[in-house]
Structure 1
């Protein structure tokens, strides 16, 4: 029986573990950790103020008000203002 099957069943059982079972369990943990790590390493994309306003279908004045209200906080590089694409997508999902 596979370890995953036991875990999914939720049964309260005693098991004897063989070295092969331990190896299988270790490999499954490594695969899960690698999958989680690869999801987190996606580089962040940034949009200009104009691009963000277009994507959100709002005016740049609305973005300014949202910044003041800390609803959508941009990043600044010198005088340029950039918005994280992930933050914008979260807003769009919340509206839908």
Structure 2
């Protein structure tokens, strides 16, 4: 068994490839759907309900609540993926 060392550059490259793949998945939905429900956001980001709640509570991810449903702007999710939360 050979030991492989992963460098910071390897991780950065992987991150960029992953972000591009996620953007490609989200892009076709962009025109048809500007708002996503919580379940869609959790699936897209591969996070738990608790993690999504923490993103809401600490202001990392803005949301709109209508009735009992939470909605998230696709552009805010893209901004979060790109590393900014303004």
TM-score range, shorter chain: 0.5 to 0.7
Aligned residue in 1 for 2:65: 76
- Higher RCO (CA 8 Å, separation ≥ 6 residues): 2
TM-score normalised over the length of structure 1: 0.50
Gaps of 5+ in 1: 1-41
- In structure 2, the partner of 1:53 is 42
Unaligned 5+ segments in structure 2 are 1-30
Structure 1 partner of 2:83: 94
| Greater Rg over alpha carbons, structure | 1
Please report how far the alpha carbon of residue 55 of structure 1 lies from its aligned counterpart in structure 2 after TM superposition.
0.9
**Matched residues in 2 for 1:54 and 1:67: separation?**
16
Per-residue deviation, residues 36-95 of structure 1 (Å, max 9, x unmatched): xxxxxx797010001001111111110101111111121111111011100001111228
How many aligned residue pairs are there?
A: 54
Query: Runs of 4 or more off by more than 2 Å in structure 1?
Result: none
Q: Give the conservation status (yes or no) of the 8 Å contact 1:44–1:86.
A: no
Q: TM-score, normalised by structure 2?
A: 0.55
- State the alpha-carbon separation in 1 of the partners of residues 56 and 48 from structure 2: 13
